[in-house]
């Protein structure tokens, strides 16, 4: 986009079995969907994401579960897996929805996309707008359908997704998938966590 880092305002959406959103203002991280643990934030493959703290007490009384059991439930048996009752694999859920019209698969996908869209809205309000939205991670890079569902009804903020470019985007390749006239750009950018960890390590060594 030919912008300097300090002029860049973006929202990154890392969507995979683990998910997170990040608001980046003037080139620096301003807010992230994760809290003390990765459990807070977006619905994930097996993690519940945001929930009412009262749920813990309710489950404990209703099901007679210990704190350790509830922790396991919320981290390993919830999210897409818990909502669908089938799987934590988004590819399989999409197949179930389209081929078998499975209502719980549809519910899981709808809640997943709605939660992402909710964070986009919150971050846009917090930052006062954004230059671009970035999709990354296994789902973010590979699922044109999920990207399309998340971006639907965001035309009011000037985001116009190009259906052809969205469908043509390939994994492990960078791509712009918004229309040329879209005020908020949309990109697919592959994740490279190992490279970033290596760079941060070098910075720490140089500082010491």
Question: CATH number of the domain that 32 lies in?
Answer: 3.30.420.40
Angle, in degrees to the nearest 10, between helices 54-63 and 67-76: 110
H helix intervals, 128-162 = 137-142, 144-151
CA dist 131 and 201 (Å) reads 29
CA dist 15 and 138 (Å) reads 6
Name the pTM for this structure.
0.93
Judged against a pLDDT cut of 90, whether residue 170 lies above it is answered with no
Structure tokens at 152: 């639907």
**Domain count of the chain?**
1
Q: What is the pLDDT of residue 207?
A: 82
H helix intervals, the chain = 54-63, 67-76, 79-84, 90-100, 103-127, 137-142, 144-151, 163-168, 193-207
Distances (CA, A) of 111 to 48, 57, 91, 199: 11, 23, 16, 35
Interval 42-53 mean pLDDT: 96
Per-residue pLDDT tens for 91-138?
999 999 999 999 999 999 999 999 999 999 999 999 999 999 999 999
Per-residue pLDDT tens for 15-35?
999 999 999 999 999 999 999
Domain that includes residue 38, residue range: 5-207
- What is the residue whose two structure tokens read 């300090």? 6
Interval 43-49 mean pLDDT: 97
CA dist 188 and 119 (Å) reads 18
CA dist 156 and 185 (Å) reads 14
Backbone dihedral angles phi then psi of residue 132, each to the nearest 5 degrees:
-160, 160
């Amino acid at each position: 986009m030919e912008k300097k880092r300090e002029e860049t305002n973006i929202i990154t959406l890392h969507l995979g079995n683990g998910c997170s959103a990040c608001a980046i203002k003037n080139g620096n991280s301003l807010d992230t969907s994760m809290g003390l643990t990765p459990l807070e934030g977006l619905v994930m493959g097996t993690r519940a994401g945001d929930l009412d703290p009262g749920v813990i007490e309710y489950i404990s009384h209703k099901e007679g579960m210990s704190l350790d059991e509830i922790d396991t439930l919320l981290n390993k048996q919830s999210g897409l897996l818990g909502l669908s009752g089938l799987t934590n694999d988004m590819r399989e859920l999409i197949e179930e929805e389209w081929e078998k019209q499975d209502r719980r698969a549809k519910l899981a996908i709808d809640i997943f996309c709605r939660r992402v869209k909710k964070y986009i809205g919150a971050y846009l309000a917090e930052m006062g707008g954004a230059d671009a939205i970035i999709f990354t991670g296994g789902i973010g890079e590979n699922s044109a359908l999920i990207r399309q569902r998340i971006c639907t009804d965001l035309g009011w903020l000037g985001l116009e997704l190009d259906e052809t470019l969205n469908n043509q985007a390939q994994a492990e390749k960078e791509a712009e998938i918004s229309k040329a006239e879209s005020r908020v750009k949309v990109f697919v950018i592959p994740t490279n966590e190992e490279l970033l960890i290596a760079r941060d390590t070098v910075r720490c060594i140089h500082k010491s």
